[in-house]
Amino acid sequence: MDTTAIREKLHRLIEDANDEKLAALLEAFSAVETGQMPWWKDPETIKELDDRLKSFVAELGTTYRLSAIDKELNLRKSKTVQNDIEMNIQTEKIELVKMLLNTNNPRIIQSIKHIFKKEETSDFWDDLTSDQKKEINTAKIQIKEGESLDYDSFMSKHK
């Protein structure tokens, strides 16, 4: 086909083309003008498409159970929730430090010190009354002497 025939054919194509085809033709001509290689001749594009195809084909043999997917989703959600909780705790601590730094009230500072000291040495036994401690010690002796019932026996008598 000679140059004149090619020009005539292109002219007819352009005249008959809708907006979409005109845009495609313009893009093709622009690529030629700028020296751009069409995607189907670009080795990098072809390699990427080949890699994607190989990856897709490799995944075809892999099956996923819905329960496994649910388990993974729940695991990821729990990690997110745990991270949110940790972030909220850190935020709360920073807010408390700011409040502590901004106060000049010695009673507040003493109260906070007291809370921390109590937390360090806190044993629930220390918080029990003497009567509660006495009852627990009596129960220990009764258990050692065999004067106790297991849960099921106790419940069967009280139903």
For 118-150, give the DSSP string.
Answer: HHHH--HHHHS-HHHHHHHHHHHHHHHTT----
**Domain spans, the chain:** 3-60, 125-159
Which tops the pLDDT comparison, 102 or 65?
102
pLDDT digits (tens, 9 = 90+) for 80-111: 767 777 777 777 777 888 888 888 888 988 88
Residue-level pLDDT at 149: 78
Residue-level pLDDT at 31: 63
Distance CA 51, CA 30 (A): 29
3-state DSSP percent of the chain in helix, strand and coil, to 5 = 80, 0, 20
